[in-house]
């Protein structure tokens, strides 16, 4: 299973800790008179934790969609609060610990800015408190089409780190990997400069990064 870019170190550290815990648990079971179900219980917990870590930081191969007249979902998760705003639309994607945590660019363009904001780690279900959470705000501008995508990675109670791969001034392609939220949280997306567009109807309940089209537009419209 391929590990997400920039996550090898943290996976190695966690794996090392798990190895030490495993050896310690085995020694305890051997040296102390413990019931047999303890052995299976400890083994089960260790295997589950190992699977969860590798599942969390996986980077599966994905045949993404390129749609020059569309906006593609930047993350896997539950699609929420989709609404039209002035000259565009906004939405949120709530990521669970079991979603793929890789984030993708919703449009072609140039990274105009990446702003990291320190903050807390409230559960994203508490909306008012989650506004204070740590985040990365990535702004991507497509000058040719005159559209801007403001893509915000918001950390949560488990998502302790937001990571952006590109740097300011880098050119990114639609559906290209541009970051990861470790252990998942929420993605805020705001796209502006769309003079004539349609949100997908019906709006899907779940989104998949690089695969789900959120909106289509006519680049020739005035």
87 & 19 share domain: no
48 & 85 share domain: no
83 & 108 share domain: yes
143 & 84 share domain: yes
Q: Alpha-carbon distance 77 to 184, whole Å?
A: 9
For residue 27, what pLDDT is reported? 77
81 & 52 share domain: no
138 & 212 share domain: yes
Which two structure tokens, joined as six digits, stand for 87?
Answer: 């000259």
CATH number for the domain that contains residue 188: 2.70.70.10
Pick the catalytic residue: 105, 155, 175, 185? 185
Domain region containing 140: 70-217
Q: Alpha-carbon distance 77 to 92, whole Å?
A: 9
23 & 109 share domain: no
Query: Is 113 an active-site residue?
Result: no
- E strand residue ranges, 57-104: 70-72, 77-85, 88-94, 102-104
76 & 148 share domain: yes
Categorise residue 184: left if φ over 0, alpha if ψ from -120 to 50, beta otherwise.
left
Domain count within the chain? 2
Q: Alpha-carbon distance 149 to 194, whole Å?
A: 10
116 & 210 share domain: yes
pTM of the model: 0.81
Q: Alpha-carbon distance 111 to 43, whole Å?
A: 46
Output the tens digit of pLDDT for each of the chain's 222 residues. 677 676 676 667 777 777 777 777 777 777 777 777 766 777 777 777 777 777 777 788 889 989 989 999 999 999 999 999 989 999 999 888 788 889 999 999 999 999 988 877 766 666 665 677 888 999 999 999 999 999 999 887 665 578 889 999 999 999 999 998 876 688 999 999 998 899 998 999 999 999 999 999 876 544
């Amino acid at each position: 299973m391929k590990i997400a870019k920039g996550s090898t170190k943290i996976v190695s550290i966690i794996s090392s800790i798990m190895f030490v815990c495993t050896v310690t648990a085995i020694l305890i079971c051997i040296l102390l008179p413990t019931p047999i179900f303890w052995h299976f219980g400890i083994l089960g917990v260790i295997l589950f934790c190992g699977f969860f870590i590798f599942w969390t930081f996986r980077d599966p191969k994905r045949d993404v969609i390129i749609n020059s007249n569309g906006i593609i979902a930047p993350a896997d998760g539950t699609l929420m609060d989709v609404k039209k705003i002035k000259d565009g639309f906004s939405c949120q994607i709530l990521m669970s610990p079991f979603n793929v945590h890789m984030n993708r660019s919703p449009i072609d363009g140039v990274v105009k800015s990446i702003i990291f904001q320190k903050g807390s780690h409230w559960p994203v279900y508490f909306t008012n408190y989650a506004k204070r959470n740590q985040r990365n705000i990535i702004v991507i501008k497509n000058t040719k089409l005159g559209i801007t995508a403001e893509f915000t990675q918001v950390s949560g109670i488990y998502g302790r780190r937001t990571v952006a791969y590109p740097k300011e001034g880098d050119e990114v392609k639609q559906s290209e990997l541009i970051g990861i939220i470790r252990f998942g949280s929420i993605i805020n997306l705001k796209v502006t400069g769309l003079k004539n567009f349609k949100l997908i109807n019906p709006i899907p309940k779940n989104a998949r990064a690089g695969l789900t089209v959120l909106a289509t537009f006519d680049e020739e419209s005035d």
